[in-house]
Chain A
């Protein structure tokens, strides 16, 4: 238990397997993998019907996203009509211009970006060190630390935000970038440690040792050999932390009550609130939502696979 880096343990671990607890699916060559294994031998009409059902379901599921883009590109005059315009007859960027010139978008963008960047940098640094500790060392208290990491990531923000509000109030950090960032880093670090743990374990300690025999110091060996191999893991975790900070609503709602310190989600919420009392310029709201969503959708496509497998890896492995 108390020995440090267990090189034999690391060697016995099949090193090719699953960096980052990667895709649970066994990789069958595509040619061998029939498209439909359950209904394979049944008559074709069933498959055609299922295919049609699949397309219809796909269209329904994507509809809200389509509707956001469609409305964002339509001039408000068209949206005023009670009959919806189904197809993108728009192509008018007036709504985006209106959002931009409203004057509140850029400050919110700045606030969100600052918080997200701070969260990513600190979270990656802290989590990387933590992941190194639990995957390369066996030490007294390791089990307790892993348990704490796993439990903490399940704690709901809703169960703690009142106390965090009081804490930040007493530290004079309400409505500040630092206050929110501290909470976000703590919220994201546990899952990031868990995600990085797999990546660190995937790089065999032997590689580092070989480099040290060749005359590198331990730090050099780590920086030149191990670190580059971890880059994909760090990118995936960084994107995950970024998305969490960028999208977070609950804590921001409580800690950033001042209008001048809104993040993008809070800024968007302003539009929903306004819609309750007066006629809303939905074209502008949808343009605003599009601006918030586009970077997220792009980043999300990067990390989706890792996130799924990180969350359920224990179960898939059985």
Chain B
């Protein structure tokens, strides 16, 4: 801290310790200040978390809903879960969807940021406005629009593709799992690219022009400048954004649920979030739903750890 601002240090040193504040009274103040926040977090997150953990080790289905006391079965639910091939299908599907979507988002976002950096400012502002619009759209409103775009009867996507001479008359995009997930990916990418592009662009503006010009004078080509100057400087930003994308895409729920609503078979298109929903709300098997939830939470916390660590660094400074 003091090394950051050495000019201030000598000035501060001779000053006697200041006494304007009632220190003794202040001891408990910070604790009083965080009580409301902690209270609501315990009520709305802490208690459910504990309940969920206990329930995941009980037998808790429809019968328990009607008053029968739950039976404690330790890790039986987890054993059932991880020996169930359907669970593994859902896990594999979620991971594949998450990694591919995050990867595509990062690639397009990076290209967008480079494009914004390379074009005339008028074009850049146009790009920024258009991406801000996509980013600002409430997710459910965006989903209705996309459902309309891909509507099999009169959607604009089918009519454009048919106009190009392809046979897409009355093509139902949500009928097969593969094209269902393709559409879901396109939508998630459309929504997530703006954040990625803006963040990377902000990182790019930190790369100094002088260094780039000096490298160019020394004969470094575009790819060399990218590899040896630009990428190393924006690497921390890239890492954090990639991590956030992976975490966010792993828990994708709204888009999948709303595409399922528009007419596709849920069991063929479930990801982890919608699977929990189906178990808990659909078939009232709270024990299994809790077990899957705990699995998702553990996965998320493990992934988040790096992110949290880098933010803690920010707090220390």
Chain A: residues with CB nearer than 8 A to chain B?
3-5, 7-9, 11-14, 21, 23-26, 28, 32-39, 41, 47, 50-51, 53-55, 57-59, 61-62, 64-65, 67-68, 71, 79-84, 122, 125-127, 129-130, 132-134, 136-137, 139, 141-142, 145-148, 150-152, 154-167, 182-183, 185-187, 189-190, 193-194, 197, 209, 212-213, 218, 246-247, 249-250, 253-254, 264-265, 268-269, 271-273, 275-277, 279-280, 282, 285-286, 288-290, 292-293, 296-297, 300-301, 304, 308-309, 311-318
Contacts and interface: CB of A to CB of B under 8 A. Distances in A.
Interface in B34-57: 34, 36-38, 40-41, 43-45, 47-49, 51-52, 55
B143 A14 contact: no
What are the 8 closest A-B residue pairs judged by CB atoms, nearest first?
A163-B48, A186-B44, A276-B263, A156-B251, A300-B136, A62-B130, A158-B273, A133-B33
Contacts, number: 401
A218 B21 contact: yes
B44 A162 contact: no
Dominant SS at the B interface?
helix
B146 interface: yes
Given A11-B8, A250-B254, A286-B144, A38 B222 contact: yes
Contacts of B135: 300, 304
A87 B218 CA distance: 51
Interface of B: 1-2, 4-5, 8-9, 12, 18, 20-23, 26-27, 29-31, 33-34, 36-38, 40-41, 43-45, 47-49, 51-52, 55, 112, 114-121, 123-124, 126-127, 129-149, 151, 153-154, 156, 159-160, 190, 193, 195, 198-199, 202-203, 205-207, 209, 212, 216, 222, 225-226, 230, 236-237, 239-241, 244, 247, 250-251, 253-254, 257-258, 261-263, 272-273, 276-277, 279-281, 286, 289-290, 293-294, 296-297, 300-301, 304, 307-308, 310-315, 317
Contact of B145 (A59, A64, A194, A316): A64
A51 B145 contact: no
B1 A13 contact: yes
B45 A83 contact: no
A25 B205 contact: yes
Contacts of B225: 38
Given A12-B9, A312-B237, 12 more contacts: A12-B8, A38-B212, A50-B115, A51-B123, A65-B145, A80-B154, A145-B38, A213-B20, A254-B281, A273-B261, A313-B311, A315-B240
